[in-house]
Structure 1
């Protein structure tokens, strides 16, 4: 008689309380997972995939949500389990790796203490033994000098290292199931590849099952055995990864795949209106930041941008790529003078603007605009979106409220929103819609150049494709120059005429997009391109083997 599957989900239903009623987030989902297997759950934001993942650990209990059906994990039904049985399930039989480690980790306590606490909750061991286990799992997930780093707090780690800490915490009690909810969404391609390789190694070594939740189909290609595609709370397609990605049956799955930017696709010709005059020229641009040790002791300044030279022409898109900490965001902010350079020269339309004061810059502000990465942070939650879009008009001197309202309505419609939504607040919009509001605000003063800082990094692939298409349309219609800052190399190739690759504050390679992508010269560029997820499971597996072989050499 064959053993029972590790996970059996039947007719899962999850309803969330909304006002006087309930909203159905998951509707009749079912699947099984054998020990040692990996299942990818994919879909757009709002499809219900994270809700399913949370149900595997009974995380909806006590939230007001109504859960139906059965969710058997290692023989325990997460829907009906109570008390000690539910506690043993969470962290013991199954463990969760969350998307945002800064939210999941306590900022006030050392990471080793937090892992040790998990061990002591589930095992009758001493504090010393729990601490030893914490150091052991930190070492296993690739944290160098784990005994020392176990005493560090979360803010002392990079994003990728914090994600490794969360994986270590999940492994602490040797669970039979790992549930990873968007574990690589905010990470660079190289760090993303490292985390996915680590999850694969751990699954191979321990025999644990893996449920990997993601909106990125490239992530699942080389990481899972089977794929479940979700839309509007329902499973629309389920099967082996090679079949679902190679020959999808459902139109929705095909639409998701068609929206994925391809690293091997040539840059779209004529993204802009054709390159014209040089609008912006940076020469040997530098930016340093002062640092302090302790409360008062000064230390050497940190150089974020170190001798960068580039040009941006009217009507073209310059893509700037690089890992976190490469200086690309700092450079983007300097190009529109939200930061003052500490060295070098910055010319806009032939005029040196690098050292201009705020009063002298004010007339130029309308021509140099920025779209920020996080529209939630850049939009005031207490003001309507219409007022946020109107702000640049008022700063530019417009006082006629009727003209302001009319212009804001035009801008909202221009970016695909309804003019009647003027009085709505940011929380009433999806992530893609909020990013459209940010674009409308940047367009308000009539700019000639817009710097887009990671404008689609947190969006699912279809929303990402819509925002990218909108930027291209606006550029063609208005003759804008765009600087597109991103760590997603596939998106950058899709939109850019030319590309600059940054590392440690310097540009290590730049040229037209097809040349840089098809014939990279610098080893760093080659490494970035090799880490980009691909949709072919066979090629994705071959790339993982090559990375692991190189790491072990």
Structure 2
């Protein structure tokens, strides 16, 4: 009989909702096994139940009012029947979890090394000195440079990727046999994401760890696991070896999920179409139309004296009516700062902005912005209709009947219902809230919309719906779009031209097919090589190539 590290049979999870005694089923009859040293990916959209399954492996639903049925065994421990002491031994000792948001998982008031050392001491009889040494050891293992010194830093002093490495180090402190990673790379740049996935793969090979990876990103799963379990509405719709599920999916839902994944075609052989660094020149205006947007030598500095930081170091670009310019780059490249300058939310330190040929300062007329997180950009105490109406009132419209009619028209236009006017943001899904953000941007009939990471937190199917909506609105209304994102595959799908930013500069710019097909700058090639591939064999070759570079 196989000695499974994880053995789940008929797992069902119900959560209390509404009136006492009322429940909603989140997971319905899930069964799977995981052997030591193997990796299983659980994929599906938000609400599919995948994170609920992961939490059940550590008994995290205990005491929440949830009802569980079925059997969950981890490392031989029956999770439902385990005593509090057995659960403590299971959590961190046998199995450890890495969560999506490291900033909310780490205590902001304590040094990272102290937090890891505390976890180690809770599960062992180690002295403070030994626990401290173990913290430095695991931080070094996950690739934190100068681990002894950085262990004394607090979480806010780490980048997003470094914080995620610190969480993995904390999970490794007690030498678990199983690592559960719940969306560990969702908010990370493609290069940092590749590093984290490579790290997880290396830990599996080095320590024989079992890995349960929960993700909505099928490409991330393809890079990291041996087998896939696809979930929808709390149920398993398909499972099997990762290569088989990705190449010959049996379930219609799996096929739809894969069809929604944006892809980057393989680059053809041949020399680049441009030399690097041509991003300083505006695009040619061969059709004679006045550009909707022109930026000349835009520069933005923060702070003064020795603390002065240059976020954008002199960017020149232009955009025609109906055109989409994608801006890609890692966190800290300056792309979001540039986006805010383009609509006038940030004043440039130097340079000039022209909208429809007219130099502008302050909030740009005819320009709107769609932000990354619609939940935080919508007032939770107001109905979404009122939020959409704000730009109309700001433009001077005073007739409430006209305002309501326009808002209801916009809600319908973005795929919502007029009756949603008085509903609150928390009553909508992430994709629906983003549609509200788009409706609000459309309200004053802009000529330019700047979208800053508008789909980064959404499932692939919802991403596809939102990008399709933007493309449809653009065709209909002739709006120019600036699409800022770290997801190169999404940018490839929606853009006519693309600008690649690094260190506040545009290092490469041109037609999207040319930049992606024949990248001229090494940094662009590095970004493209880090994009997850749906082919497990290609992912393995890329991982080997990256390891050779790191070595």
Name the TM tier (shorter chain). Answer: over 0.9
Q: Deviations over 1:140-197 (max 9, x none)?
A: 0000111110100000000000000000000000000000000000000000000000
1:549 deviation in Å? Answer: 1.3
Does 1:449 pair with 2:456? no
Distance 1:512 1:16 in 2: 50
Distance 1:387 1:78 in 2: 48
Does 1:281 pair with 2:258? no
1:300 deviation in Å? Answer: 2.8
TM-score w.r.t. the length of structure 2 is 0.95
Residue pair 1:265, 1:494 contacting (<8 A) in 2 also: no
Q: Count matched residues.
A: 530
Alignment-derived partner of residue 181 in structure 2: 180
1:265 deviation in Å? Answer: 7.9
Q: Secondary structure at the match of 1:278?
A: coil
Alignment-derived partner of residue 348 in structure 2: 341
Alignment-derived partner of residue 198 in structure 1: 199
Distance 2:462 2:416 in 1: 14
Alignment-derived partner of residue 438 in structure 1: 437
Q: Secondary structure at the match of 1:248?
A: coil
Within a 5 Å distance, the mapping from 1:118-517 to structure 2 comes to 118-264=119-265, 276-290=289-303, 299-353=306-360, 356=361, 358=362, 361=363, 364-365=364-365, 367-517=366-516
Distance 2:451 2:288 in 1: 18
Distance 1:299 1:32 in 2: 57
Q: Secondary structure at the match of 1:71?
A: strand
Q: After TM superposition, what 4+ stretches of structure 1 lie above 4 angstroms from structure 2? A: none
Q: Secondary structure at the match of 1:299?
A: helix
Alignment-derived partner of residue 270 in structure 1: none
Q: Deviations over 1:82-107 (max 9, x none)?
A: 21001100001000000000010000
1:493 deviation in Å? Answer: 0.5
Residue pair 1:94, 1:178 contacting (<8 A) in 2 also: yes
Q: Secondary structure at the match of 1:286?
A: strand
Mean Cα deviation higher: 146-155 or 2-11: 2-11
Q: Deviations over 1:460-507 (max 9, x none)?
A: 000000000000000000000000000000000100000000000000
Structure 1 spans left out of the alignment, 5+ residues:
267-273, 292-297
Distance 2:469 2:220 in 1: 25
Q: Secondary structure at the match of 1:381?
A: coil
1:214 deviation in Å? Answer: 0.5
Alignment-derived partner of residue 294 in structure 1: none
Mean Cα deviation higher: 63-72 or 154-163: 63-72
Does 1:117 pair with 2:124? no
1:351 deviation in Å? Answer: 1.4
Q: Deviations over 1:428-454 (max 9, x none)?
A: 000000000000000000000000000
Alignment-derived partner of residue 277 in structure 2: none
Q: Deviations over 1:215-269 (max 9, x none)?
A: 0100011210000000000000000000000100000000000000001189xxx
Residue pair 2:448, 2:481 contacting (<8 A) in 1 also: yes
Distance 1:275 1:100 in 2: 48
Alignment-derived partner of residue 108 in structure 1: 109
Alignment-derived partner of residue 56 in structure 1: 57
Distance 1:333 1:222 in 2: 34
Structure 2 spans left out of the alignment, 5+ residues:
268-286
1:277 deviation in Å? Answer: 3.1
TM-score w.r.t. the length of structure 1 is 0.95
Distance 1:26 1:416 in 2: 29
Q: Secondary structure at the match of 1:60?
A: coil
Q: Secondary structure at the match of 2:303?
A: strand
